[in-house]
């Protein structure tokens, strides 16, 4: 999810990178809308999950949320950055896909399969909320999926949890 001041923050990050060699920028926190957890509810992850784990690189994980731009032009500790990082690990790209609500359209345009069938490794995507949300499907159960994501609670943190299968569509970048 992105905040309205993204363009200004991106510009500041580019300038900071040019001056210091590191892409850092900060902005006053914008008012947050209700988190995805508040919209959908959430449940602890199933014990059968085969989690990826929080392997998000420290250079993005250990700095304040939205303070740096990652290799895919996404802000750090956002759902889109986490998903783009994992997609890249498999040799595919979601570079410049923007807010999560646009990912299904961008993926279709790039020739990826988008459907209502969850599979392990697929990207769970929704247009709901201001910016939408994306997560990685870790395991599929009867009526629910276990996902791994960042920023589900609106706090920029990693989470593994169960959500309803019908709440999302699924982007198959590498499966």
Residues 57-78 have a mean pLDDT of: 96
pLDDT at 100: 98
pLDDT at 24: 36
**Pair of tokens at residue 142:** 């009867």
Alpha-carbon distance 71 to 75, whole Å?
9
Residue 26: band (very low, low, confident or very high) from pLDDT cuts 50, 70, 90: very low
pLDDT at 11: 43
Task: Write the CB contacts of 20 (distance below 8 Å, at least 6 apart in sequence).
Answer: none
Q: Is the pLDDT of residue 5 over 70?
A: no
Residues 105-120 have a mean pLDDT of: 97
Q: Is the pLDDT of residue 104 over 70?
A: yes
Residue 125: band (very low, low, confident or very high) from pLDDT cuts 50, 70, 90: very high
Residues 51-63 have a mean pLDDT of: 91
Count Cβ atoms below 10 Å from residue 73 Cβ, excluding itself: 15
pLDDT at 78: 97
């Amino acid at each position: 999810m992105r905040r309205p001041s993204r363009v200004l923050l991106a510009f500041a990050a580019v300038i900071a990178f040019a001056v210091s060699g590191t892409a850092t920028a900060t902005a006053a926190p914008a008012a947050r809308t209700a988190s995805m957890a508040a919209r959908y509810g959430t449940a602890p992850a199933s014990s059968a999950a085969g989690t990826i784990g929080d392997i998000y690189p420290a250079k993005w994980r250990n700095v304040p949320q939205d303070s740096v731009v990652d290799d895919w032009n996404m802000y750090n500790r956002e759902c889109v950055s986490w998903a783009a990082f994992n997609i890249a690990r498999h040799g595919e790209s979601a570079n410049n896909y923007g807010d999560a609500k646009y990912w299904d359209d961008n993926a279709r345009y790039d020739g990826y399969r988008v459907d209502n069938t969850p599979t392990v490794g697929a990207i769970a995507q929704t247009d709901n909320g201001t910016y939408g949300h994306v997560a990685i499907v870790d395991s599929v159960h009867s009526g629910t999926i276990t996902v791994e994501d960042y920023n589900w609670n609106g706090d920029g943190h990693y989470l593994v949890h169960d959500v309803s299968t019908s709440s999302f569509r699924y982007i198959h970048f590498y499966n």
